[in-house]
Amino acid sequence: MDKIYFSGMSFYGYHGVFAAEAELGQRFYVDLALSADLSKAGASDDLNDTINYAEIFSSVQQIVEGQRFKLVEALTANIAEKLLHQFPLAEVKVKVTKPNPPINGHYDSVAIEMTRKREDFR
């Protein structure tokens, strides 16, 4: 199976359990690994035979910037489900990184990664 990768997509969202997170918002980073058959596009060199990267980006952006979730787990799951429903993908791996969760301590970030297959949502 062929792969399309998106690395370090950056969005500003209002996700979190605490009121300040929902009010002030913060940066979120999204990485994707998308499995699909890209053989037709490889042979034709035609955008109509592949998955439009701009449409993928826009779909993720609409969820991260346009909806609110308390949990990064829910945000990640919603991205995976939407991509599987909207595009001809066999499998999606979604990683959402929250660089500044309200945890007292020293760390770079917290991230959730989920892998979902098309058959999970039939």
6: nearest Cα among 85, 67, 97, 77: 97
Catalytic residue among 82, 95, 98, 117: 98
| Interval 11-24: pLDDT, tens | 999 998 988 888 89
Is 3 a catalytic site residue?
no
Q: How is residue 107 written in tokens?
A: 């760390």
Average pLDDT, integer, range 83-90: 96
Q: pLDDT-derived band of residue 122, with 50, 70 and 90 as boundaries?
A: low
Give CA–CA dist 106/122, Å, rounded: 42
DSSP 47: G
Domain range 2-121, its CATH number among 3.30.1130.10, 3.20.20.110, 3.40.50.1380, 3.40.1350.10:
3.30.1130.10
Q: Which of 82, 76, 85 has its CA nearest to residue 13?
A: 76
17 with 75: CB under 8 angstroms? no
Phi and psi dihedrals of 16, rounded to 5? 155, 160
pLDDT band at 86 (very low <50, low <70, confident <90, very high): very high
Question: What amino acid occupies position 96?
Answer: V
Q: Measure the CA–CA gap between 52 and 65, rounded to whole angstroms.
A: 20
Residues 17-76: tens digit of each pLDDT: 988 888 899 999 999 999 999 999 999 999 999 999 999 999 999 999 999 999 999 999
What is the average per-residue pLDDT within 77-88?
97
